[in-house]
Amino acid sequence: MFDDWVFQYLPKIFCGLAFFVNPIFIYMIFTEKSKKFGNYRFLLLFFALFNLIYSVVNVVVPLDIHSYRYCFFLFLKHCWFVKPSEFHFNLLVARCSLVAASYAILLIHFIYRYLAIHNSKFTRDKFHLYMTFSVLVFAMYFGIWHAICYYPGRANVEIKKYIREDFREIYGSDSMDFNMLGALFNEGSEETTFQSWVAVILCSSLSTIYIFLFLVLAVMIIKKLNKMAPNASRKTSKFQVELLRALVVQTVIPIFISFSPCLLSWYSPMLGIQLGRGINYIEAMALGAFAFVDPVAIIMCLPIFRNRVFRFCRDSGSIFKTSKSSTEQAN
């Protein structure tokens, strides 16, 4: 079945691609001249390690997303943690929180770029404090999402009963036998609908705040670079612009490619729109894709990396042609 292929095999393919691309990305970062990236290398390493961890979690704890009338829900399937238990529910919540925590990684990258162009001591002499701050921001954002998903985001008995018939028809199982996150916006009790609206509003607000911060920091960085341009060397200004462009791409990919499809599952049930399984497959694929697409995009955006890749491909092609010619002559 296509359903089994998407949720069992596709995450493993994405994981394999992530474990192919990210080590190359790390190698390129740390074999480049240290003065090029400075301490920013370690934030990029943080980003690459997150991609690898996320890819493994995507395989071990796979999510399925679905909507029915005024309800959407998430649950685990095709894994060792399907049976309902408090531990398995916490794994489900942690899985969702890990996806959201990627916002925190992007934010600390923007903050670093802003501090770097202001020649801050936190990007030079006291970088260890900035890394500590980065880990704390990541942990805080992860914890906030975990709390939102665990309390107002938890699918109660009423929600599970509401989707029971549809769930049995699609999955051939009883919805009461699964841990779930979900929201019911209408046709439910006042308590359940209020809890659902609270969960979605909190999640939406957090995401909106972070995107707003990305935009504000990006504008502030651009203004500062424009002021620096007359006094800085052309090479330095160009490299700073390239780094900002790569960071913007690094931000756009997860937001618009990976997270936007998931927003459909959040908001369409508010209008009673039931999405087809095709959209659910796209959501599942999109959530697994950014861990390997993002580093590829960064490599292609930065000329120093892109040129190394093209040079390697060109040299490899030349070696292959030379070897082939030598073999033909020997024959």
Contact 33, 239 (CB under 8 A): no
Q: With 80 as the cut, is the pLDDT of residue 249 above it?
A: yes
CA distance 14 to 146: 25
Q: In this predicted model, what pLDDT tens digit does every residue of 80-103 receive, in sequence order?
A: 899 999 999 999 999 999 988 888
pLDDT the model gives residue 1: 58
Alpha helices in 118-259 (DSSP H): 127-150, 157-162, 164-171, 190-228, 234-252
Domain ranges of the chain: 1-297
Is CATH 1.20.1070.10 correct for 1-297?
yes
Contact 98, 149 (CB under 8 A): no
pLDDT the model gives residue 36: 79
Q: In this predicted model, what pLDDT tens digit does every residue of 254-265 receive, in sequence order?
A: 777 667 767 777
Residue range 280-293: mean pLDDT, rounded: 81
H-helix or E-strand spanning residue 179:
none
Q: Is 165 exposed, middle or buried (0-12, 13-18, 19+ CB in 10 A)?
A: exposed
pLDDT tier for residue 35 given thresholds of 50, 70 and 90: confident
* Residues listed for the chain: 331
pLDDT tier for residue 322 given thresholds of 50, 70 and 90: low
**Average pLDDT, whole number, for the chain?**
88
79's CB contacts (< 8 A; 6+ apart) are 60, 61, 62
pLDDT the model gives residue 327: 61
Contact 104, 142 (CB under 8 A): yes
CA angle (80, 85, 91) in 5-degree steps: 60
pLDDT the model gives residue 321: 63
Residue range 151-175: mean pLDDT, rounded: 94
pTM above 0.85, yes or no: yes
pLDDT tier for residue 315 given thresholds of 50, 70 and 90: confident
